[in-house]
Amino acid sequence: MLVLRLLNVVAPAYFLCISLVTFVLQIFLFIPSMFRDPSTTPLFSPALLHGALFLFLSANALGNYILVIQSSPEELGKGLNLGEGAEMMADWLDGSRSPGSALPSTHYCRLCARVTQRHDHHCFFTGNCIGSRNMRNFIMFCLYTSLACLDSLVAGMAYISASLSMSFANPLAFLTLLPHSISQFFSGALLSSEMFVILMLYLWLGIGLACAGFCCHQLLLILRGQTRYQVRKGMVVKARPWRENLREVFGKRWLLGLLIPMLNVGSDCRRQKVK
């Protein structure tokens, strides 16, 4: 439990550090290198369009990240029927659903010390549990984080291609880039800044693919009307049309939520009332 609590503090700090490094590299290194002659740069140049795209992706990723943290699960016992007696409270502290709870798949998290409605999982990178209140923002956070990482990957490859005068037309060039760069770095033929960018390329690729895969897996569970907690516990859920499952998570303002970070005020799950 001590290791998990430590991870719950270190993981968000690690994510914020990676985000800050990515922002600095994009703004002060990648985007300026795209300008051949700033005095003659047209208004809709590829460099400006890339900068606007990166800022849009970063703003949505950071905005949804903040909303995931702000839309925290319910405090223990707040608005929930936890039942009476030490036996029922022991069920909560054991991580199981209380017999007195009126909501399905409600879960008590030891790390958060809170009860989550429609609990899915505990995310260490946000230091928060993911449930009915922040599921939509969490999916948008994963989506835009993946896109921002892939965007940084492409910009970084363009920078390395121009700096080292190499081509990535052959897919094997990227796979062999790291071992060749390590040997050149220790031989003194490669600058420290270029080596750091190359290491960040592989980090962006890993984070981007991981977030994309997690986002697709989460959407598949939503279409089936399930959560990861329900699948792990073997809970049987009532079959419903996939449109209703999507509407329950993304709400009626789903299109606006794709473009602007906003609370999921239009979803059905936020209107649920405890009997």
Convert the pLDDT of each residue in 135-190 to its tens digit.
999 999 999 999 999 999 999 999 999 998 888 888 788 989 999 999 999 998 88
Give the model's pLDDT for residue 1.
Answer: 73
Residue 18, CB half-sphere, CA atoms under 13 Å: how many? 23
Give the model's pLDDT for residue 261.
Answer: 87
- The winner for highest mean pLDDT among 39-48, 84-93, 133-142 is 133-142
Q: Where are the alpha helices (DSSP H) in 79-189?
A: 86-93, 135-164, 171-175, 177-186
Indicate the pairing of strand 121-123 with strand 107-109. unpaired
Q: Is the dihedral of CA 22, 23, 28, 29 positive or negative?
A: positive
> Are 99 and 88 within 8 A, CB to CB?
yes
pLDDT score of 7 more than 80: yes
Between CA 266 and CA 97 the distance in angstroms is 27
> Are 136 and 143 within 8 A, CB to CB?
no
The DSSP bridge partners found for residue 116 are: 107
> Are 28 and 34 within 8 A, CB to CB?
no
What confidence category does residue 116 fall into, taking pLDDT thresholds of 50, 70 and 90? confident
pLDDT score of 82 more than 80: no
pLDDT score of 217 more than 70: yes
**Active-site residue, from 109, 112, 123, 269:** 123
Give the model's pLDDT for residue 114.
Answer: 78
Give the model's pLDDT for residue 4.
Answer: 85
Give the model's pLDDT for residue 92.
Answer: 47
Between CA 176 and CA 96 the distance in angstroms is 49
* Residue 157: alpha-carbon gap to chain centroid: 23
State residue 121 phi and psi, 5-degree precision: -170, 170
Q: Which of 89-98, 142-151, 170-179, 212-221 has the lowest mean pLDDT?
A: 89-98
Give the model's pLDDT for residue 3.
Answer: 86
Between CA 257 and CA 111 the distance in angstroms is 29
pTM: 0.83
Give the model's pLDDT for residue 53.
Answer: 94
Q: Which of 39-48, 99-108, 156-165, 239-248 has the lowest mean pLDDT?
A: 99-108
Indicate the pairing of strand 74-75 with strand 114-116. antiparallel
How many residues are there in the chain? 275
Between CA 171 and CA 166 the distance in angstroms is 12
Q: Which of 76-90, 92-106, 143-157, 223-237 has the lowest mean pLDDT?
A: 76-90
pLDDT score of 270 more than 50: no
Residue 31, CB half-sphere, CA atoms under 13 Å: how many? 18
Give the model's pLDDT for residue 36.
Answer: 65
> Are 266 and 251 within 8 A, CB to CB?
yes
Residue with tokens 């030891």: 110
Q: Is 216 a catalytic residue?
A: no
Closest CA to 57 of 173, 272, 204, 177: 204
Mean pLDDT to the nearest integer, 216-239:
88
Between CA 226 and CA 205 the distance in angstroms is 29
Between CA 205 and CA 195 the distance in angstroms is 16
